Homo-oligomer: A and B are copies of this chain.
């Protein structure tokens, strides 16, 4: 296990992933309270809202209100998700820490369902967004390949397909003289297993050894923590995650399935393995309990019920 990172960065996406999929209306004040509590735990980056069509995702209709209301803590980045230039322009009009990003999908069918366009059109849209970012001086912070490990609609995804899509993204960035600070490989609908994590991460890293990689894992079928361990064993030091295991993809076609890998459970795993997260685990477990109270039903996170080991360890 020589490749374990010393420090892991957890990018908290619970407020966005979670509250966009919840059926009930979540009060803006509750979202703000939850985000503020998360920012007090040592997390350095919290994705607060998504700037998407409120007709398709009614739970995010108050994105601007959340962004404007929350009290910011120094040293924490408060981000928002956007999927097209219109969303980006909405995001830029708020006080959030908005950066450029590029996205592609390893599955054509998922791209159409999630983004409303095939991957060729999606790439062209990224080109226009990049041009807009460059003209406004907005730095491009990350790229993501969704459904990189499999797709409920299209089925298995060949590793080669992921490599091709990454190559397209990087070529697009080069058109603008840009490099990608980090590429996120997303197991959007919970198809990954430790072998496929090793295969995809290995193939991308072999072709682009200097490209920093992150993992966006979903626990749809219970494998997220094993997949995270394989990522850690390969030296991955950046994970997207959601407090309490909030989330799930509204367009993935399995209502009720588990959501993102749970932030506090993953942070606990890391800390127990001697990998620094910078997070106060007890405070984060308390956030998870707050999330359950806000959504009004049990969430999948375990640490919030099992408790941390700090005071038990002696």
Contacts and interface: CB of A to CB of B under 8 A. Distances in A.
Interface residues of A, number: 48
Contacts of A195: 1, 272-274
Given A195-B274, A221-B302, A150 B228 contact: no
A309 B272 contact: no
Given A226-B229, A306-B254, A313 B156 contact: yes
Give the oligomeric copy count.
Answer: 2
A314 interface: yes
A12 B56 CA distance: 43
Given A221-B302, A222-B303, A226-B228, A309 B268 contact: no
Given A191-B309, A193-B273, A221-B308, 19 more contacts: A1-B195, A150-B313, A156-B314, A195-B272, A220-B302, A220-B305, A220-B306, A221-B268, A221-B302, A221-B307, A221-B309, A222-B268, A222-B306, A225-B226, A226-B226, A254-B306, A254-B307, A257-B306, A257-B307
Nearest first, the 7 closest Cβ-Cβ pairs linking A and B are: A222-B265, A222-B302, A193-B272, A220-B306, A155-B314, A226-B229, A221-B306
A85 interface: no
Nearest to A269: B223
A302 B226 CA distance: 14
A265 B222 CA distance: 6
A194 to B, nearest CB: 6
Contacts of A1: 194-195, 198
A155 B313 CA distance: 4
Interface of A: 1, 150, 152, 155-156, 190-191, 193-196, 198, 219-226, 228-230, 254, 256-258, 262, 265-266, 268-269, 272-274, 298, 300-303, 305-309, 312-314
A58 to B, nearest CB: 23
B301 A298 contact: no
A155 B309 CA distance: 8
A292 to B, nearest CB: 11
Between A229, A273, A314, the greatest number of chain B beta carbons within 10 A of the residue's beta carbon is seen for A229
